[in-house]
Amino acid sequence: MSELKKSRLEVQAVLKSCIEEGLEFMQRPGWAVMEFANASFQKADRVVLMNLVGGRRVGWQGWSYGVAGNELTRHDNWFEEQRWQIHCVCKRKQAAVPTDQFPEDACSDLIAWFNGRGCDVLRKSKMSNLRIDSDSIFVYNDNSDLYQKRAVFTVKIIVPKEVSAGEIELDALVPKIYPV
């Protein structure tokens, strides 16, 4: 993984492992984690879906110049805020029993995870998340023949980015004297 130029899929892989660790820590066995709109999502039960809904640059960290051999390189650093929607989906059975798992409970656990130890997990990958309001869970009911319930919240992840570009050669800075 690139240290300061994480692609969308690299961030998604880190987020996926963070969610899996959170589900294990919160003792939610049997949950799968996958990308939103995955083909295997059809008729799924106990699944967490990740959907990147947007990103924006939130600030410049700075820039620097480096010299390698005879080449001058400029490094620009900034922070990007990525908004990931986390969808927890469960099938709803006809007769609920106390041991059934509900998507809003899984969302509450994941929010508690991201507001605590999950932040430390992301920090190991040089990323962080903003605090999530526990009142931000939206619950959707599917009234089709296969009744599913879906709870959704958004996590905002701060990702450091860097781009390096070659500048002019240093020899070009020395004035050339041409005969008149």
Q: Where are the domains of the chain?
A: 8-59+78-157
Residues 141, 108: Cα–Cα separation, whole Å: 17
Below-50 pLDDT ranges, the chain: 1
pLDDT of residue 113: 95
Whole-angstrom distance between the N-terminal and C-terminal Cα of the chain?
A: 55
Angle at 166 between CA 160 and CA 168, to 5 degrees: 145
> 3-class DSSP state for residue 41?
helix
CA 81 to chain CA centroid, nearest Å: 9
- The letter for the amino acid at 152 is V
pLDDT of residue 1: 42
For the chain, give the percent of residues with pLDDT over 70.
80
In this structure, are residues 158 and 81 in contact, taking their beta carbons and an 8 Å threshold? yes
151: tokens are 């709870």
pLDDT of residue 103: 87
pLDDT of residue 18: 95
Q: What pLDDT digit, counting tens, does each position of 96-138 carry?
A: 666 677 888 999 999 999 999 999 999 999 899 999 998 888 8
**Beta carbons within 8 Å of 15's beta carbon, 6+ residues apart:** 50, 84, 122, 155, 157
Sole residue written with tokens 């995870």: 113
- pTM of this prediction? 0.78
Stated as kind and residue range, the H or E segment containing 171 is none
The matching CATH number, chosen from 1.10.600, 3.30.460, 3.90.1580, 3.30.70, for 8-59+78-157 is 3.30.70
